[in-house]
Structure 1
Amino acid sequence: MNSQNSNIYSVSRLNRAAKALLETGLGVVWLSGEISNLTIAVSGHWYFTLKDHSAQVKCAMFKGNNRRAGFTPKHGQQVLVRGKLSLYEARGDYQLIIESMQPEGDGLLQQQFDQLKCQLAAEGLFSEKHKKPLPQIIKCIGIITSSTGAALHDILSVLKRRDPRLQVVIYPSQVQGTGSAESVAAQIQLANARNECDLLIVGRGGGSLEDLWCFNEARVAHAIFNSTLPIISAVGHEIDVTISDFVADIRAATPSAAAELVSQNKAFVSTQLQTLVTRLKSAMSNNLQRTQHQHALLTEKLFKQDPKHKLQQQTLIADELNLRLQHAMNTLLNGKQQQVNRLHSSLLQHSPEKTINLELQKQSQLNARLKNAIMNKLQRSETDLQNGINQLNSVSPLATLARGYAIVKDEKGRVIIDASTLSNEALIDIHFAQGEVKARVII
């Protein structure tokens, strides 16, 4: 009977077990469906039903998650959601807890984007160790984009304004629609094969996620990764992010930003020219100074050959030797003085005076400790005496009388503990905490 009872579930236990199975069995799921019965609660949570042509499932999307959706869904709208299955124990209804929601068209592309991003990251295509720096001196720039797009016009305008000396090679490519990914990858491979540029700018102007999709293709990512030329990814606007941005050596927010990154403005070139002129003047000045220095050296050499100069040199040498002798004598005397000081210090260290002072200090410390021990002993004894007095008082009959009790004795002084032992008209003594009285028994 006990073994049977252990297999009997309560409703609450059954719902908890079912909830655990749902939450751990499937994990995160992606679901496409049509929204119906949408309710936006005062708390900000969304409650709705996702359905297709033959089935439906209840869903809940809490306030913290629906804020990130970027839109408010409508009844009948087709969406792509990501969430986890759960069960509402109070009613026994299973439901989907939504973590993210997107309109179905962009949502499918976003899902593919996330999957490819994770795959390429695992392959190491985004690793910083593979990033190539831009060359310090840039003479020629390759541009891979549409030959009729606004991106090419923006890049050329910036280059012409900031650094017209730069050479530009255009590799026209399809950047939208069927075959665009193959076109971009082929042009990257062509530019590397021709090897006529210092770096490449790969990109296009802004658009929807679907318009920019060729830059989210694996073949374009691998072409960028395998390029020996440094590549700047300049796709769309600043808010647009593509797979090519992660693989490229540098990401520019826009095509114009990429052009500004690789070009030098006229003011900078003028500054460089001024710097070169300054360096030339400095080199000429240094050359003149070296010539003057050589002339001075020859003049000095001629002066050194004069006998008067040699006599002066010998006098200087004699003075130097005298100074060295004085220095040696001072050093010797200082050494001896230091030795005397060390011996004196050693003598002071071995003096009995120090030992006597230490012993006196120890004796003083011991006296203080003895006094403290005696005082502590006296205090403990006094405390023990007081505790004994308190204990005696607690069991004293006087303490009992002080609480309102009395002691009754007969004429012979015996304590009466039983009233039946007293006779009528008997005399008794009653003792109180303060004084005593005589009384007569009336029965």
Structure 2
Amino acid sequence: MVDLEGIARRLPKNEARKEIIKWLEFYKGKRDINEKIADSIIIEVENSKKSSIYEPTLSGIRAGDAGLGSRGIGDHIIHEKILEIAGKGEFEDAGLSDNIIASIDGIHSRLSYFPFLAGFHVTKATLRDIMVKGAEPIGVIVDIHLADDTDVSYLLDFEAGVTTVTDFLGIIVLAGSTLRIGGDLVLGERISGGVGAIGKLKSKFFARHNVREGMKIIMTQGNGGGTITATAIYYGFPEVVEETLRLDELLACKVISDNPNLSESMTDVTNGGLRMDAIEISESRKLSFVIDPEKFLHLINPRVLKMFDELQIDPFGISIDSILIFTNEEDKVLDLLARSKIKADVVGYVSSYKDYPILTVDGKKLEARFRESPYTPVKKVIGNYSPYTIDDIKGSLSNAVKFSKIRKENVLKNLKSHFA
């Protein structure tokens, strides 16, 4: 995509005008209106500077360099800051209020040109997030944005992907919104957006803070979701895409939530893989996971694992879409899952803290990376690093959080004063 407003904000007026016209011609062809559009954009940007008081106080840290969305340590730090502003202190798959469980997931950015797959996988992900916490799903809400040059068929194919999952579960699309990315000011053919899920708590909220020392860790087979689909597409493994079009993990969540006495906690192996799941749970409970690597690898879909091996992708640091079940009743859990034809096994146990959140049975630390395992050719080139240190990111974001809180408090104070 090309952000015409961004061009006008970064370049001197004359240069910006030429560049905007160039991109308008690239996407729209030569038209008399192109010059007028360019002039209008420049005028809009100049006018917007009068409202600079509402612009953010910049942190100096760019999203990509900070690891935002890359599901590693960098992303983890950013989410800590988001939770700080929201006044919420714990990482969870979904939120609970008055027996209503809700979650939201954004579409995988690399599936933009494959809207059916984007819709299918984001819907599966958001429903998994509520079901893994013990919800009976009610329905989903959809927010989908198309860039100005996107064919409208993308919207329809996306909806087909979403409703494939909802129809399978017998639930509905409750509401939706359809917009263009940046209105008239963003050119290109990408889509973005997200899907939210809403459900009712069945009986027990399977919270991460319920994980206890001595519990066994059962993992279901990981067939992959949006991340693995992107890997398969952009490395040329189309046969692996088919393996991801499964909903086994949703059924596994249902089996356990229908038998709440057998488990105290569940989570999914998604954001940053098993390495990051362990860190998020360890931070709240000061516990460690002890994992048998062979059993873990054995529970990755064989075609997915073969692709990992060929591409030298670390399976411990990537989303495989398995479910982790923490239990003291491992035999009963495995029997129930087997009866539902869900492949699963005990892959480890929860220990008192052993100087790191996750270790192998022979004591090797499975250390988290700055980003998740690079899983496309572009990600391998970019690498798993940042120009900033962890302290750089924390310090800069802390400063930005301070100013965002001040703005929030000032506006909230004004709102309340009207009803004093």
TM-score interval, smaller chain: under 0.3
Question: What TM-score does the superposition give when structure 1 sets the normalisation length?
Answer: 0.20
Question: Which structure's CA Rg is the greater one?
Answer: 1
Question: What TM-score does the superposition give when structure 2 sets the normalisation length?
Answer: 0.20
Higher-RCO chain (CA-CA 8 Å, sequence separation at least 6): 2
